[in-house]
Amino acid sequence: MHNSKNVSKRCTSGVYRSCLAMLLLTCSTLGLAQPSQIRDIEDSVIKIYTTQAAPDYFTPWRLLTPRQSSGSGAVIIGNQILTNAHVVANASYVQAQKHNDARRYQARVSFISHEADLALITVDEAGFFSDLKPLAIGNLPDPLQEVSVYGYPMGGKSLSITKGILSRVEQQVYAHAGAYLLAGQIDAAINPGNSGGPVIVDQQIVGVVMQANSGGRAENLGYFVPPSIIRHVLVDSEDGVRDGFPDLGFRTQTLDSPSAKAAYGLDKDQDGVLVIKVFEGSPAEGILQENDVILQIDDFKIADDGTIKLSEDLLTDYKHAIDLHHINESIAITYSRHGEKATISLLAERGMDSYSLVAGEQFDMVPEYYIYGGILFVPLNMNLIKRWGNDWGRTAPVSLLQARSEWSSPEQRELVVALQVLAADVNLGYHDWRNWVVERINGEPVRDFTQFSQALKNNTLENVVFENKNGYQLVINHETALASEARILSQYRIPATHSAGLFED
């Protein structure tokens, strides 16, 4: 409308009619272009139908009841449809439907990044993409800029377009897999079915709608995966192998306290974060030390609250400076040790599952389990914890929740839980024991689920003694356990004593 305003300013009473004609012609031309551009976007927004059957981590030998759900996606270059990972996670059947087309086409997942909650799907049938215009990936909008959200929310079959304002951009915990990545927030409600739909500015994708991570406590807010994370996943997908986001293997805390800054040798004008943990086998091992202060990553200076400046208007957690890198790239770290400043390079590597004692949520995986003496043993992970429902932070056992804040070590990489007792003569006296963390087996510390399972399989002692950290013991006679195995499996309709592949090399 800038040209229209110029035309209006030139209008005088003597030439009013000719100027008015020019103004109407300009507005008419602009008005015709906009609906055409919107139609191109609408045609590129796809409705996705999935049938999902997730494993039941309470009874890990079977699946939960299959459920049907829907989401949204957008066509991008390379005959790919960009959507959310949670839309197609654990999916056994995927279909895609074009705008104003009743037919559903069979689709398949070509790449998935659960941590970024992004996935690429495609349709192999010839001609599906021939009349669709791929959308380009744009740049992160400015704060308070208006954006449009396209998708197919539940409750109807037609495409929905919602407008909102970009209200915040910062590091967030993604609801799908619990990763801590950059996210955008808009003041528009995002409903089920909108997930995976594009956030559009100037006919370009500037975000992908994702699950709200507010636990239902925020109203009229929506969240989206920003362009930097989208581009990272698209580059990662080029070879078909998911590398994910790097983890340098150290953990930090903020240095807001002036006393703490002085204690670790910082000047008043220096800011940074304190290294409190360096993991064995990580890129940081042998280079960084506990009590070092990280001052800068690449060109991003770290504030004492752990933030870096993305622009004049945007701050976020320093972790984003690491997330911008791909595996095998060098990352420059400037740090202070006892007041001495130095800069080193760390090689970006994939994060190790063993950094935390409780592994993050996994998808499209077969749960591990072992049944011995009628007792169901499983590894502790977020899949199990989340099985307690949407309010798992309150309903899951406290002992299991507390373990999430503990670091792993070479001596203890994973916790093993006696989840439930399948009542039988062999386990008489323990029928009401459940959710019990096993610390030792026959006096030996439990390192992880694989070592624990091998110890049971290879046991030659008369009895197996399981012990928790408080010294309580659960004793099972080995000979009786083996003799009752077939009967227990038959009685409880369990296909095998352990998960497939548990003892494979």
The pLDDT of 119-139, averaged and rounded, is 96
Domains: count for the chain: 4
Residue 354: predicted pLDDT: 66
Residue 179 corresponds to which tokens in the numbers above? 């990763």
Query: Do 272 and 301 reside in the same domain of the chain?
Result: yes
> Could you give phi then psi for residue 463, rounded to 5 degrees?
-125, 150
User: Two tokens at 113?
Assistant: 């990044």
Q: Note the pLDDT tens digit of each residue in 344-374.
A: 999 999 877 668 899 999 999 999 999 999 9
Together in a domain, 122 and 201:
yes
8 and 107 within one domain: no
Task: Flag whether 11 is in a domain.
Answer: yes
Q: So what's the pLDDT on residue 221?
A: 82
Q: What is the mean pLDDT of residues 475-498?
A: 97
- Verify that 29 and 155 share a domain, yes or no: no
Hey, which residues are catalytic here? Answer: 86, 117, 195
Domain assignment present for residue 504? The answer is no
Residue 497 covered by a domain: no
pLDDT above 90: percentage of residues in the chain: 80
pLDDT of residue 10: 38
Q: Give the position of tokens 């093993």.
A: 416
Domain match, 119 and 234 both: yes
Q: 251: closest CA among 406, 414, 117?
A: 406
Residue 351: DSSP 8-state: P
Q: Is the pLDDT of residue 13 over 50?
A: no
Instruction: Choose the final residue of a domain: 331, 351, 371.
Output: 351
Q: Mean pLDDT, the chain, as a whole number?
A: 90
In the predicted model, is pLDDT for residue 116 greater than 70?
Answer: yes
pLDDT value, residue 30: 34
> Are residues 385 and 417 both part of a single domain?
yes
pLDDT of the residue at 249: 94
One domain for residues 218 and 166? yes
Is 505 part of a structural domain of the chain?
A: no
CATH number of residue 284's parent domain:
2.30.42.10
Which helix (H) or strand (E) is 346 found in, with range? strand 340-347
Q: What is the pLDDT of residue 498?
A: 97
Asked if the structure places residue 496 within a domain, the reply is no
Q: Say if residues 417 and 378 touch (Cβ distance below 8 Å).
A: yes
Q: Kind and range of the H or E element at 258?
A: helix 258-263
Residues 81 and 26 in one domain: no
Residues 38 and 51 in one domain: no
Any domain includes 312: yes
Q: What is the CATH number of the domain that holds 469?
A: 3.20.190.20
What gap in Å lies between CA 443 and CA 456, rounded to an integer? 13
Q: What is the pLDDT of residue 179?
A: 92
Domain around 15:
2-43
Tens digits of residue pLDDT in 175-184: 999 999 999 9
Q: Does the structure show a pLDDT above 60 at 2? A: no
- Containing 309, the helix (H) or strand (E) segment is strand 307-309
For residues 86 and 223, membership in a common domain is answered with yes
* Burial class of residue 493 (count of CB atoms within 10 Å of its CB; 0-12, 13-18, 19+): exposed
- Domain holding 214: CATH number? 2.40.10.120
Average pLDDT rounded to a whole number, residues 453-469: 96
d(CA 375, CA 179): 33
Q: Give domain status of residue 283, yes or no.
A: yes
Q: At what angle do helices 16-44 and 2-10 cross, to 10 degrees?
A: 170
Distance CA 79, CA 496 (A): 42
The mean pLDDT of 2-19, rounded to a whole number, is 40
d(CA 79, CA 105): 14
Is residue 334 classed as helix, strand or coil in its secondary structure?
A: strand
CA-based Rg of the chain, rounded to a whole angstrom?
Answer: 28
pLDDT of residue 156: 77
Together in a domain, 362 and 454 = yes
What is the tens place of the pLDDT at every residue in 228-237?
999 999 999 9
Residue partners of 90: CB distance under 8 A and separation at least 6: 52, 53, 54, 55, 363, 364
pLDDT band of residue 504 (cuts 50, 70, 90) is confident
Q: 26-40, 134-148, 316-330, 430-444: lowest mean pLDDT where?
A: 26-40
Lowest mean pLDDT among 168-177, 189-198, 291-300: 189-198
Supply the pLDDT for residue 23: 34
Burial of 102 (0-12, 13-18, 19+ CB in 10 A): exposed
d(CA 391, CA 375): 27
Q: How far apart are the first and last CA of the chain?
A: 67
DSSP string for residues in 373-425 = TTEEEEE-BHHHHHTT-TTHHHHS-HHHHHGGGPBPBTTBS--EEEEEE---G
**Exposure of 223 by Cβ count < 10 A (0-12 exposed, 13-18 middle, 19+ buried)?**
buried
Residue 182 lies in a domain: yes
DSSP of 190-253:
--TT-TTPEEEETTEEEEEEE---STT---S-EEEE-HHHHHHHHHHGGGS-----B--SEEEE
Identify the domain boundary among 244, 259, 293: 244
Instruction: Point out the domain boundary residue: 198, 217, 244.
Output: 244
Same domain, 152 and 50: yes
What is the pLDDT averaged over residues 109-135?
A: 96
Q: How confident is the model at residue 379 (pLDDT cuts 50, 70, 90)?
A: very high
